Amino acid sequence: MFKRLQDVLDGPPVADPHAMASSIAGLHAIAADQILPTRTTAEWRALFDALDIPCAPVMRMEALQGDPHPKAVGLFQEYDHPTQGRLRHMRAPFTMRDVETATDRPPPEIGHHSLEVAREIGLSEDQIAALRARGLLRQHEREDEA
């Protein structure tokens, strides 16, 4: 095992691009286990910023919601769900030039598309009615509206 960063830099895993590519899993393990724990996230960010190396911390969802960057780019959006009230969701984390995007539809309720799926797999209306009568197929109240 390497004891110092210089040992890693002078070692066989980074001797050339081919050696580095074939050793990438081991290099990631060395970075995670031996190198990154030597400084705090804030210290690494300051160093990478000074070296103009793009970086961002991996954050827990709770911390991400309060972070200024996701707020600035509108990553989390609130919407009114037809039955659940006001909800928050995360938009796609990327955009594409000249492609219009729209707000996603709210997630369906349980049984919202039951009839559509039953018909799609080839069940007859009589079979569907029999399943509904036995309580095995649930139709969401708003399914006819969708």
Question: Sorting pLDDT into bands at 50, 70 and 90, what band is 143?
Answer: very low
65 and 39 in a common domain = no
Which residue range forms the structural domain that includes residue 131? 114-145
> What pLDDT sits at residue 2?
60
Q: How confident is the model at residue 146 (pLDDT cuts 50, 70, 90)?
A: very low
C-alpha to C-alpha distance for 133 and 117, rounded to whole angstroms: 17
101 within some domain: no
Please name every residue paired with 86 in a beta bridge, in sequence order, or none if there are none: 80
Domain-embedded: residue 75: yes
- Does residue 95 form part of some domain? no
Report yes or no on 38 lying in a domain. yes
Taking 80 as the threshold, does the pLDDT of residue 139 lie above it?
A: no
Identify the band that residue 120 occupies on the pLDDT scale cut at 50, 70 and 90: very high
In this structure, is residue 72 part of a structural domain?
Answer: yes
Average pLDDT on 67-88 reads: 87
Residue 44 and residue 65 in one domain = no
Number of structural domains (the chain) is 3
Question: Are residues 38 and 66 located together in one domain of the fold?
Answer: no
Task: For residue 104, tell me if it sits in a domain.
Answer: no
Q: Is the full-model pTM beyond 0.75? A: no
For the purposes of burial, counting CB atoms within 10 Å of the CB of 56, is it exposed (0-12), middle (13-18) or buried (19 or more)?
exposed
33 and 68 together in one domain? no
Q: DSSP states of 46-63 as a string?
A: HHHHHTT--------HHH
Please check whether residues 65 and 39 belong to one and the same domain.
no
